[in-house]
Structure 1
């Protein structure tokens, strides 16, 4: 029975690591999206940092990416930047790849 218990613990540990990595990738992706949007709005470095943090925080409003997309599209539109959901979704997808790459390189 020890072998089965060891396998179960290993599976649970892998699940926890994968779950943590997914969370970290999403948070990094959202931060990168905030930096991308801040660049579009021509914010200062201090404003960019604060805005990127606000985008990460926006992800905790509801499950999924809709809260982040809604925030970024709304902020870009309010700043006079011509954008739409598709543009932000495309940036989100591209930045997800970059976020995973950055986290894997940091290991």
Structure 2
């Protein structure tokens, strides 16, 4: 997944939330806030978000700006040296959608 630039995030927010009346300054702050989670990555693991951050991400998902992807991860856990168990973890992550960027 391609990484969106700060300018692309601002444009996407302007095309959605800006049309609903959000002020330009607030759009820029929100774009910086969202970009700070992604850095140079294309996704953010959901369980690393605080509940307030998660609420904002779900609001942006409703606007079509983020998508949620779920994957199943197999983690190897050892009870002792001779015996190991596999544990399955469902992990959600959020990705920036290309909707609204153009």
| TM-score scaled by length of structure 2 | 0.37
Which of the two has greater helix per residue? 1
Q: Which has the higher contact order (CA 8 A, sep 6+)?
A: 2
Higher strand proportion = 2
What TM-score do you get using the length of structure 1 for normalisation?
0.36
